[in-house]
Structure 1
């Protein structure tokens, strides 16, 4: 069995503050350790379930958060900036299943801890073939185009609800429950990591709970931006059309173009938006 583990940070156990999500914020280094510990819980479960190979992708921000010196030495770690497939970097059709650890709810979801979609301030909404799409749907759809199902989602309660709304009865572990965007009732990390390990192990031993998201091509990505300036700048890219004062759309028969383009649009939006902060 070959297992892909994509690890974001906002849904990691113990974390609630934007400062914990980026350097040199207060608590960031500890946040990286907690992120690595949640990842290791899933990796350990994968090997205990009989996996021959586990690839872990650092899927937060610039991809330099997981502690390479603390990650389970049996896995392969995908790390670094400007990865073409971003949160899905390293995934291909040879994998049996994908696990999404530390994921969060899409932008605007009530009580979603650190909720956003792809960017903290610049993106108000994303839709994939007309359906509201957070990072869970976007990445599950990418896996689906490769024939790979999702076997686990961990994060806050809102992220787990979004995963089940998107994928059906997929195994999920809620490590915290939001009280506001920056506040939550937490499962203490040691217990949360045991929960991740136990559910990942159960899921990987029983593939009946795995769920694949199949989205029919062509794929249309619609983005509502925070400003007219971002939308106008993004619409300069060939193939990207303005669909409103603050919105753009792009259609392709190749889902890798959807993921890759979203990363390029985010670079433009970050530059045009000139925001020095994240998550609003």
Structure 2
């Protein structure tokens, strides 16, 4: 069995503050350790379930958050910024299953801890073929386009609810329940990581519970930005058009173009409009 593990940070056990997500912020170094601990719980379960190979992608921000010196030595780690497929970098059709740990709810989700879609403040909404899409839907669709099902999603309760809405009865692990965007009732990390291990092990022993999200081509990505200047700049990319002064649209028959385009647009948006608090 070959397992792909994508690890984001906002849905990691014990974390609620934007400062804990940002290099140089108060609590960030401890946040990286907690992120690595949650990842290791899933990695250990994967190998205990019989995986021959586990590939882990650091899917948060700069992609330099997971502690390479503390990660389970049996896996391989994809890290660094500007990865072409971002949160899905390293995934290909040879994998049996994808696992998502540390994931969060989409922008605007009620009681979603640190809820956002792709960027903390620049993106208001994303729609994929007419359906509102957070990172769970976007990444599950990428896996599905490669023929790979999703076996587990771990994050806050709102993220788990979103995962079940997108993927039906997929195994989930809620490590915290949002009180507001920046506050949550937490399961202490040691117990949360034990839950991640147990649920991952259970999920990998039950392939009938894996769910592949299949979205028919062509794919239309609609992004509502918080700024007309971001939308205008992104519309200069060939194939991208303005749907209204703050919204861009792009249609393709290759889903990898959707992921790649979001990455390029996010880089542009960050340069144009990323000031102040990351999630402000």
TM-score normalized by structure 2? 0.99
Once the two structures are TM-superposed, the CA of residue 78 in structure 1 deviates from its matched residue by 0.4
1:190-242 deviation digits (Å, cap 9, x = unpaired): 00000000000001011111000000000000000001111111111110000
What's the CA shift for 1:245?
Answer: 1.3
1:82 is the counterpart of 2:82: yes
Is 1:7 aligned to 2:42, yes or no?
A: no
In structure 1, what is the Cα distance between the partners aligned to 2:140 and 2:40?
21
- Equivalent in the alignment of 1:227: 227
Residue of structure 2 in register with 1:176 after alignment: 176
1:41 equivalent in structure 2: 41
Instruction: Provide the C-alpha distance between the structure 2 equivalents of 1:178 and 1:277, rounded to a whole number of angstroms.
Output: 20
Query: In the comparison of the two structures, how many residue pairs are matched?
Result: 280
Structure 1 pair 243–207 and aligned structure 2 pair: CA distance change class (3 A) = same
Q: CA deviation at 1:276?
A: 3.6
User: 1:208 aligned to 2:208?
Assistant: yes
Distance 1:277 1:58 in 2: 22
Give unmatched runs, 5+ long, in structure 2.
none
Q: Kindly indicate whether residue 181 of structure 2 is the aligned counterpart of residue 191 of structure 1.
A: no
Aligned mates of 2:238, 2:6 — CA distance in 1: 30
Cα RMSD for the two superposed structures: 0.6
Counterparts of 1:219 and 1:275, CA distance in 2: 31
Q: Distance in 2 between matches of 1:274 and 1:117?
A: 15
SS in 2 for 1:83: coil
For normalisation by structure 1, the TM-score amounts to: 0.99
Q: Which 4+ runs in 1 deviate beyond 6 A?
A: none
Q: Which residue of 1 aligns with 2:167?
A: 167
> Structure 1: any 5+ residue segments left out of the alignment?
none
